[in-house]
Copies of this chain bind each other. A is one copy, B any other.
């Protein structure tokens, strides 16, 4: 059957991020950091965060529900549900089992339209406007302690920032080499940056994306690829004798490569940086949030274009792959995907918290993390209609969610989940 399916890829997307955020410039000042440390040093504009009424489960519920409703997809048409997350709420019970509620609820009645959104939900299938070119995929895995969460009772990770950046760039090089090898073998010509129209990166912070794209230029230079002109070659020549390790540490190379790649970065990368810069690190969702930015910015001109994707997870596992885009047919068209995601409006309608209130919220969240036997404020005044939110964690740690009502939706309490319904 698989061999008859063409253009398998992303048919539909929905994105959700919390409506609560703090501006990096404000946070910078509040933290007593030097001016520009977060906004230029990290390249970030804003950071979204969950308040006590949202978590990974509520955001997933919101995104999946919204995708099904807005594209008119019957849950019964879904053959497989894959959930990716870096966040652990329970060490045994999976997020997927919470999402099954959606399929059960819908199975019992007609889909109810809502106006909300959540994390990233994607529908995968044939005849997609965003088609995988899977033959070129290049992967890299290694055992590293660059970012990890060994303290099971804490929300916070252990991070070795410098190591993490080096690991990321090494994985990028390795994946790019493999991608180029496969491309060369299958297409009979050398791949270069010129052969992709856009580049989308896993984006923990924007500065790393800038460095990564510059690194690909340096790689193309070392490969003597056609994308690198004479002027660029001259600027990069002094670094051609660096060892691999030296090249990851050289600030001069970093600067030269960023300078050389700047016009190309503005054209091929910037359109895919909006949401990561505005929302912050989304971990598993990061690369698709970057991709959603590209759809948002360029949906009218993407047909026929190739997008190179670089996915990275600390620990570490990375893959470079590519999409070939097509206009698509309603409801699964690029313009409708942009329309459904409605990124501009979602960003605009956010609520900026002052730093004191942000810090207070984080303290409350730390206190609640892993806790039981409490009810939340149930204050969903900042949430869009149709958004799921946490109402209670009972004495048995069972989590209860409700859905905020809206113009076209009714407020509902979720299944309490204490009993399987035998579907």
CB distance from A255 to the nearest CB of B (A): 23
Is B171 a contact partner of A420 (Cβ separation < 8 A)? yes
Does A419 make an interface contact (CB < 8 A)?
yes
Does A148 make an interface contact (CB < 8 A)?
yes
Whose C-beta in chain B lies nearest to the C-beta of A87?
B91
CB-defined contacts of A421 to chain B, threshold 8 Å: 142
Does A163 make an interface contact (CB < 8 A)?
yes
Question: For chain A residues 141-175, which have a beta carbon within 8 Å of chain B?
Answer: 141-153, 157-158, 163, 166-167, 170-171, 173-174
Is B101 a contact partner of A420 (Cβ separation < 8 A)? no
A96 to B314, CA, bound (A): 12
Is B423 a contact partner of A144 (Cβ separation < 8 A)? no
Does A360 make an interface contact (CB < 8 A)?
no
Between A91, A98, A100, the greatest number of chain B beta carbons within 10 A of the residue's beta carbon is seen for A91
Whose C-beta in chain B lies nearest to the C-beta of A174?
B422
CB-defined contacts of A163 to chain B, threshold 8 Å: 418-419
CB distance from A253 to the nearest CB of B (A): 17
Whose C-beta in chain B lies nearest to the C-beta of A369?
B152
Whose C-beta in chain B lies nearest to the C-beta of A318?
B420
Question: Within the complex, which residue of B144, B158, B244, B420 is in contact with A418, where a contact is CB–CB below 8 Å?
Answer: B144
Question: Within the complex, which residue of B2, B244, B423 is in contact with A140, where a contact is CB–CB below 8 Å?
Answer: B423
Is A150 a contact partner of B88 (Cβ separation < 8 A)? no
Does A315 make an interface contact (CB < 8 A)?
yes
Interface size class of A (residues with CB under 8 A): 35 or more
Does A94 make an interface contact (CB < 8 A)?
yes
CB-defined contacts of A170 to chain B, threshold 8 Å: 420, 422
CB-defined contacts of A171 to chain B, threshold 8 Å: 420
User: Can you list, as one digit per residue, whether each of A388-423 has a CB less than 8 Å from chain B (1) or not (0)?
Assistant: 000000001110000000000000000101111111
CB distance from A165 to the nearest CB of B (A): 11
A274 to B160, CA, bound (A): 46
Does A108 make an interface contact (CB < 8 A)?
no
Does A345 make an interface contact (CB < 8 A)?
no
Q: Assess A86 versus B92: contact at CB under 8 Å? Given A174-B422, A370-B151, A422-B170.
A: yes
Does A187 make an interface contact (CB < 8 A)?
no
Between A98, A152, A166, A372, the greatest number of chain B beta carbons within 10 A of the residue's beta carbon is seen for A152
Does A229 make an interface contact (CB < 8 A)?
no
A166 to B1, CA, bound (A): 37
Does A362 make an interface contact (CB < 8 A)?
no
Is A92 a contact partner of B420 (Cβ separation < 8 A)? no
CB distance from A310 to the nearest CB of B (A): 16
Question: Within the complex, which residue of B96, B145, B313 is in contact with A417, where a contact is CB–CB below 8 Å?
Answer: B145
Is A142 a contact partner of B97 (Cβ separation < 8 A)? yes
Is A92 a contact partner of B157 (Cβ separation < 8 A)? yes
Does A90 make an interface contact (CB < 8 A)?
yes
CB-defined contacts of A148 to chain B, threshold 8 Å: 90, 92-93, 397
Contacts A92-B147, A92-B157, A100-B142 given; 15 further ones with Cβ under 8 A?
Answer: A87-B91, A88-B88, A88-B152, A90-B148, A93-B315, A94-B317, A97-B142, A97-B315, A140-B423, A142-B422, A142-B423, A145-B418, A146-B420, A170-B420, A173-B422
